[in-house]
Structure 1
Amino acid sequence: MFHRRLWLLFSAAFLVSLALMAQAARLSLGHLHEDRLDRAEQAMRTPKLVETRRGRILDRYGRVLAHDEPGWDVMVDYRVITGEWAFARGRVEARRDRDWWAEASSDQREARTLEHAQPYLEQVEMLWQTLADLGQWRPGDLTRADIEAEKNDIRRRVQKLAAHVWAVRQERRAERDGEAVSIAEVADAIAEQRQHYSVVRDVSERTRVQVEAFIAEAEVDPGLGVWKQVRMERPRQRRYPLETFTVEVDRQGMPGPLRSDQPLLIDAEGVGLHILGQLRRTYEEDEDARPFLVTLPDGSTATDLRGYLPGDRAGSFGIERTQEFWLRGARGRTVTHLDTGVEDRLSPVPGNDVKLTLDIDLQARVQALTHPDVGLLVRQPWHRSATETPEPKILSGAIVVLDIESSEILAAVTTPGMSIRSRREEPESVFRDAEYLPYLNRVVSRAYPSGSTLKPFVLVTAMDENVIGPEDTITCNGHLYPQHDDRFRCWIYKRYLMRHGPLDGAQALQHSCNIYFYTLGDDLGMERLVRGLRRFGLGSATSCGLTDEHPGDLPSDAMIPNMGKTDAILMGIGQGPVTWTPIQAAAAYATLARGGVAYHPTILRDPSPEDARGEDVDVPRSAIEEAMTGLKLVVEDKDGTGRFINVDGQRIKIHNVEGVSLWGKSGTADPGSVRWVDHNFDGKRDPGETYTLANDQDHAWFVGLAGSEGGPPVVAIAVVVEYAGSGSQVSGPIFNEVVRALRLEGYL
């Protein structure tokens, strides 16, 4: 009886164990079967991505400034890029002797594989060198080093993507099986390791024909077998069709030796490039911010067809950068089922167009005025610089034109500029020129002391704070303090030992009297003065849609208690702790023209920026009218400081465009005695950066308004020229020629 029970218990335990073993085997085989089914199913599907079209960039009249255009790229199989193709071919050759292979050691197999791979490695080397040689027929084109850099970048990015996919697979398998899984068990090749990649982009028609000849010859010549792994494709290339203009410059109204009855033809390169921007290869941070493969909360992965893959392009600067996700479309995808021949297709989604407020014709006209051959931005004898016989030096600066009614930017030029050609062929001249910084968009990215162009806003603030009334005057004796004190002298006293006498607000602007505005700064004090200037946008970026905008400088509330009387006095004439950018200057003057209503300037028409317009700065209308009267006197009265320039001892009218009405203010702003060398090439003064002493000239400003004769102002214009001398002498004639360009384009 006892033995029978023992036998029954043993049998039951055996059957239970057998059942458990069978279940484990079933589960294990089932998972293995599932994996095999998944892999087999994947092998029966051939996925292929379909490239999308990036949105266009248009000017205000719909002219195409940037668009995608199909070009030819040399695409090479990833396994050739990594070298795997040559060793795979060598292994196939080595294994032809099956008996030897079966008995050989691993070291022997590796040596035989390497021996047979050698001819294929030589083919690969020939491929890269041939592509480099084909790219040498035109200066500035492809080099072997460029190809190696591109290959390294592709390998790095694909390996990073593969590591991510394998890590997700490993985690999912370990969670499913309940035990650790080695990376080798899940490290099957991902789709991106079986694709072709652009190694040479946008090749010429000549290169395309030569590459296709090699591909065709490879079908009959085994020595060219590697070319079977190459194909020509037409991904879209970014084109900027209006980046170069030929402009006819009218010189009849220019000063002195620049005047001529014969127009000058100027080839303007890089028109609008600082605004439009360009594309670059994506960085890791781009791919991290918008990855092509996304890990979901449950650990699975999904594809974001708007995400970035190795070798993709993204906006580097300008509108291409700020509007990247609006311009960028979504890829499509086709999946061909090899067993049925059925193709599933998901069409690509094109990127959205961006319409700018820019008038590209006006932009080209204004840019042509800055060309050295014209001479307006070359140092001239009448610029009233400290040098008796100034050398013919090219000057740096910026010009911006703003539509007053809409606050839309019509033109924004920085000089010296850059072009697509110079960025490609002469990058050192663009990115390593520490004096001129051609890559820097001075319209928004550099702030300057405002000089006397700030005086209208000091006047309006003083009248708003009841520091001075419309009928009140301040007497200019040539100096703010007693005569023996050299501080705070008026410019007319320092230059001619003269005095302005009693002046009201409009007259003080007309004569640009420093004593008048020193007094207002002193009476207002720092707190009230800063509060008034903030209402006109000083100290804050305009958020106009251009990249790397500088907010300008204005003391913060925390700084004001630590600042003294001298700071407020200096700010009264636009010196001391206050700077602004050309776009801020134009926007502030446009606010005066609207009667004290501030709009945010913008470069974007579509997609439209958030509507934050129509903010009343809340100052008396009488204060605005007094400032506008003064600005009119500056350019129209015979004693206005912006009326004449002196050329060869003769007084010549600055503003000579017929049929227009003008308001304006010149400014000669002291930049300080230290000129800095931008060793970091970022346009910013960084802590610890080296500075270079130089006896530089003042920054020359002219900011004003223009309208049709007898009508209200319709455009605001800001001109600044760095280290150039007198505002009226240097920037006044440039302002005049911008007005002429506006008239020619039908704005006035």
Structure 2
Amino acid sequence: MRNRPETPLAMPPASPRWNVDHAPQFRLRTLLVLLGLVLSVVAGRLVHLQTRIPEQFTEVWDRTYESFEPIPSRDGRILTADGQILAFDEPRFDVSVHYRWLEDPPDERWLKQTVRSRLPRHQRRDPEHIRQMTETVLAQRQQMWSELAYVTGLSDDEFDRRRRLIQRRVERILEHVRQRRAATAESESVETEPESQRPWWEAGWDSVVEELTTPPRRDLESPLIIREQLDYHRIAEHVPVEVVSVIESHPSRFPEVRIERATERLYPGNDLAAHLIGRRQPVTAEEIEARRERFPEGDPLDYEVGDRIGRSGIERAYDRHLRGLRGMRRLTRNRQGETIDTETVREPTDGQDVILTIDSGLQQQAEQILDRVIVPAGQAPEASGADAEAPPPVGGCIVALDVSTGEILAAATAPRHDAGALGRGDLESWTAALNDPRRPFFPRLTQMAVAPGSVFKTLTAIAMIESGIDPEAPLHCRGYLDQPDRNRCLIYRRYGVGHGDVTLSDALCQSCNVYFFDSARRMGPEAIAMWSRRFGLGEATQHDLPNESGGNVPSPDEAARSGKTWYPGSTLQLAIGQATLTTTPLQVARMMAAIANDGYLVTPRFVRDVSATPADQPAGGDVQLASYESTRTTLRERIPGLSPGTLARVREGMRMVVEHHRGTGRNIALDDVAIAGKTGTAEAGGGLPDHAWFAGYVPADRPRVAFVVVLEHGGSGSRAAGPLARELVQALLDRGFIQGGR
């Protein structure tokens, strides 16, 4: 019995309650019930997910995203006093298309999502409906290409060429990002601590924590998408407004085609008053950062990188008025980056118009007067064929202003840059202007500080009378002051004779150096310097253009402060507008206006009004200015200390300059109007030709307009600048700024 075959499972259980063979059917039923309960819970949950709360899981696919894009505004216009537009913003329309609608072959994921989004839910699993919708989307895309090329005026080949260029550029960016991403992943895979140096329980614990807390890497499963694949890309530029209306009125024919609006700054006058207008150029990132620091609560002009900011002239001085403020548009996009809704949340605000004081016709005539006499571009003065006494000037300036208000009627400079070409970004024009030795960008009106020469004798005459020297007392001029080889008159250098007995009027008329040498010696340099500053020389005129040169009025006190020696000869040279004395054409014009208006120093101004742009007036073309009202008052002040009759004696001498048979400016006399003025020939030094000046006012008996003509290295004031002044006065007559008659 002990040797019979038995197994442990067949042996009697140690406990009477445990028996593996007891009630097997009951155990199977129990297992089946438990399994059914688990499956019922899973099935119930699936039904609940599909019928009750599917939106909680599909929400991420239907989620939309909001972004904002700017709506461009127009900067204000710059106009002349007679309504001629010198600068304005022209709307510019570009056509952009979403990258996925340009890509060929199309992205599979994008195509699948686009097809599914167009199908009802019950058809999204039907292969036949999916196939038909796929063909529809691809056919629509091909049709859009053809129609877009047609309406934009592009051939099919040119459209395909541009589309392929965009795609190649995006693919290069994508490949570059992919390579950098792979390189970054390799660098991150390097362990900071070798496993051999760590205890096995720490490495094991870290592995458990990493598996439980770190999401799985999906680098290889999820495709790489860059921003350029979700952006719109420009396919056509500067399209007419008719094209814009066609595209925007037929969105179904042009899916994911967008019109980008911008503005271009145009200067229809090209080089007309280019130095006054100035230029606008894109603002830099550094300037944006500086403005953010300056305005921590927000830039009031809302500048961003790429916006235009005034760099010079009126564009810079009145930038805060001209600057338009952009609007804002809210864009709603789906998960694929496609725009499904737009809303304007802030309307753009256009900039204000700036109305200048200059007259376009007078300005153009003044510029033409200068252009005829200066050295042509690319030609040196020596190659012009002119003799040494009358060299062609390398540059010049003409300015005319109202003696009562200080309004600038014309301010011409030569040479000038072409604001129209430079505004269009013409590289050839930029290069030519930058390499031009005549310096066409140099604002000679406000920064050409040179010696005024004998024009300054009018100021010396004022200082002499106010110092108590009798203007009627004659002085015998023998052609030189003390010695025949120094301090001489021009007539003595040329003919070896003097002017004889001269009074103040005669000295101004004939530009007698000896008379003013003697007067300066008697009154001293302090009086000349003091009256120079009272008449606005040696300091900025406070006009409304940026970057003005103040010039220099030398004096013994200034020389002592700078450690220099003031010699007796310095006083004599100062009296005739030489030494280290420098003035700008605008300062001299202001001085002439003060002489003409009996002692009131006016502030020159180039802008008459700053007004909002009328809604019914176009961006370009001529406009009517009747609705504009002046918002500025005339700035003028009485020059202190002037005695009655002082300026009358100076004006008498200036009139004789033109009307007397011995006057240095007799060649500019006109029969229709009396001219008062003063010639000036200022030594430039360094072996360079003299600067030629003529300054005065008209009419001589009832002054209305003060003017200055200066030619840089132009030679004699009477022979070079005088005839140009005569043409300017004739233009003033023709344009009605002054009345004829004597």
Question: How far off its partner does 1:342 sit?
Answer: 9.1
1:520, CA displacement in angstroms? 2.2
CA positional deviation for 1:450:
0.3
Aligned pairs for 1:16-55 (under 5 A) are 44-55=65-76
Deviations 1:51-78 (A, max 9, x none): 222112122233332222212346588x
Deviation by residue 1:128-173 (Cα, 9 ceiling, x = unmatched): xxx9x99xx9xxxxxx9xxx9xxx9xxxxxxxxxxxxxxxxxxxxx
Distance 1:350 1:732, change over 3 A: same
Alpha-carbon distance, 1:328 to partner: 0.6
Query: CA offsets per residue over residues 306-364 of structure 1, 9 Å max, x none?
Result: 31122211122211111111111222223367899794632222212211111111111
CA distance in 2, matches of 1:601, 1:418: 24
Aligned to 1:358: 358
CA distance in 1, matches of 2:546, 2:235: 30
Asked if residue 477 in structure 1 is aligned to residue 478 in structure 2, the reply is: yes
The one-letter code matched in structure 1 to 2:534 is R
Matches of 1:639 and 1:534, distance apart in 2? 31
Residue from 614, 625, 640 that aligns with 2:648:
625
Q: Which residue is 2:272 aligned to?
A: 271
1:730 positional shift: 0.5
Aligned match of 1:635: 658
Aligned CA distance change for structure 1 residues 411 and 464 (closer, same or farther; 3 Å): same
In structure 2, C-alpha distance between the alignment counterparts of 1:345 and 1:93, rounded to whole Å: 32
Q: CA deviation at 1:279?
A: 1.7
Give runs of aligned pairs for residues 329-340 of structure 1, distance below 5 A.
Answer: 329-335=324-330
Q: What secondary structure is seen at the aligned counterpart in 1 of 2:727?
A: helix
The alpha-carbon distance between structure 1 residues 626 and 236, as it changes in their structure 2 partners (threshold 3 A), is same
- In structure 1, the partner of 2:608 is 605
Q: CA deviation at 1:205?
A: 5.5
Aligned equivalents of 1:706 and 1:450: distance in 2?
20
User: Any conservation in 2 of the 1:430–1:437 contact (CA below 8 Å)?
Assistant: no
Summarize deviations over 1:539-597 as a string: whole Å, max 9, x none. Answer: 11112222322111223675243422221110110001111111111110000001111
User: What is the root-mean-square deviation in Å for CA atoms of aligned residues?
Assistant: 4.7
Using a 3 Å threshold, how does the CA distance of structure 1 residues 596 and 638 change in structure 2: closer, same or farther?
A: same
Tell me the residue number matched to 2:310: 315
Query: In structure 1, what is the equivalent of residue 92 of structure 2?
Result: 71
The answer as to whether partners of 1:536 and 1:617 remain within 8 angstroms in 2 is no
Q: Is the 8 A contact 2:375 2:395 kept in 1?
A: no
Structure 2 equivalent of residue 266 of structure 1: none
Q: Which amino acid counterpart does residue 368 of structure 2 have in structure 1?
A: A
1:385–1:697 Cα contact (<8 Å) kept: no
Distance 1:191 1:594, change over 3 A: farther
Q: Residues 368-419 of structure 1, C-alpha deviation per residue, up to 9 Å, x if partnerless?
A: 22233899999999x998637x78x564211001111111001001111121
- Can you give the 5+ residue segments of structure 2 that lack an aligned partner in the other structure? 1-59, 114-151, 159-164, 174-224, 335-339, 611-630
- Relative to structure 1, the CA distance from residue 358 to residue 89 in structure 2 (aligned partners, 3 Å threshold; closer, same or farther) is farther
**Judging changes above 3 Å, is the alpha-carbon distance between structure 1 residues 346 and 434 closer, same or farther for their aligned structure 2 residues?**
closer
Aligned to 1:682: none
Count residues with an aligned counterpart.
Answer: 542
Cα offset, 1:504, TM superposition: 1.3
1:697 corresponding residue in structure 2: 689
- Compare CA radii of gyration and give the structure with the larger one: 2
More RCO (CA 8 Å, sep 6+): 2
> Bigger CA drift: 549-558 or 575-584?
549-558
What's the % identity of the aligned pairs?
32
Aligned equivalents of 1:430 and 1:359: distance in 2? Answer: 29
Map residues 227-306 of structure 1 onto 2, 5 A cutoff.
231-241=258-268, 243=269, 270-291=271-292, 306=301
CA apart distance, 1:428: 5.0
Residue 229 and residue 496 in structure 1: after superposition, are their counterparts in 2 closer, same or farther (change >3 A)? farther
Is contact 1:366–1:413 with CA below 8 Å preserved after alignment? yes
Report deviation, 1:741. Answer: 0.8
**CA drift at 1:613:** 1.8
| Residue 327 (str. 1) matches residue 350 (str. 2) | no
Show the counterpart of 1:371: 371
Report the alpha carbon displacement of residue 715 of structure 1 after superposing the two structures with TM.
0.4
Name the structure 1 match of 2:513.
514
2:461 aligned with 1:459, yes or no? yes
Contact 2:510–2:662 (Cα < 8 Å) also in 1: yes
Task: Give the stretch that moved more between structures: 319-328 or 287-296.
Answer: 287-296
Shift of 1:599: 0.8
State the alpha-carbon separation in 2 of the partners of residues 376 and 399 from structure 1: 18
Q: 1:696 to 1:373 in 2, by over 3 A?
A: closer
**Residues 473, 503 of structure 1: 8 Å contact kept:** yes
Asked if 2 retains the 8 angstrom alpha-carbon contact of 1:292 and 1:306, the reply is no
- Aligned equivalents of 1:473, 1:293: Cα separation in 2: 63
CA drift of 1:473 comes to: 2.6
SS of aligned partner of 1:365? helix
Q: Superposition pairs for residues 157-556 of structure 1, below 5 Å?
A: 203=238, 231-241=258-268, 243=269, 270-291=271-292, 306-335=301-330, 343=343, 345-372=345-372, 387=388, 393=392, 395-423=394-422, 424-425=425-426, 426-427=428-429, 430-433=432-435, 435-466=437-468, 468-483=469-484, 486-555=485-554
State the TM-score, normalized to the length of structure 2. 0.64
Q: CA deviation at 1:197?
A: 8.6
Amino acid at match of 1:352: Q
Report what 1:740 is aligned to: 730
Question: Structure 2 residue aligned with 1:655, among 664, 669, 675?
Answer: 669
- Whether contact under 8 Å (2:64, 2:332) holds in the other structure is no
Distance 1:613 1:71, change over 3 A: same
- Asked whether the equivalents of residues 374 and 394 of structure 2 are also in contact (C-alpha less than 8 Å), the reply is no
Work out whether residues 683 and 689 of structure 2, in 8 Å CA contact, stay in contact via their aligned partners in 1: yes
Q: Distance in 2 between matches of 1:717 and 1:481?
A: 36
Alpha-carbon distance between aligned partners in 2 of 1:488 and 1:470, rounded to the nearest angstrom? 21
**Structure 1 residue 47: deviation in Å?**
2.6
> Residue 524 of structure 2: SS of its match in structure 1?
helix
1:655: how far off? 2.4
Structure 2 distance, partners of 1:192, 1:292, is: 32
**CA separation of 1:434/1:64 partners in 2, compared to 1, >3 Å: closer, same or farther?**
closer
Unpaired runs of 5+ residues, structure 1, are 1-38, 96-130, 138-143, 153-188, 221-226, 244-268, 297-302, 645-653, 674-694
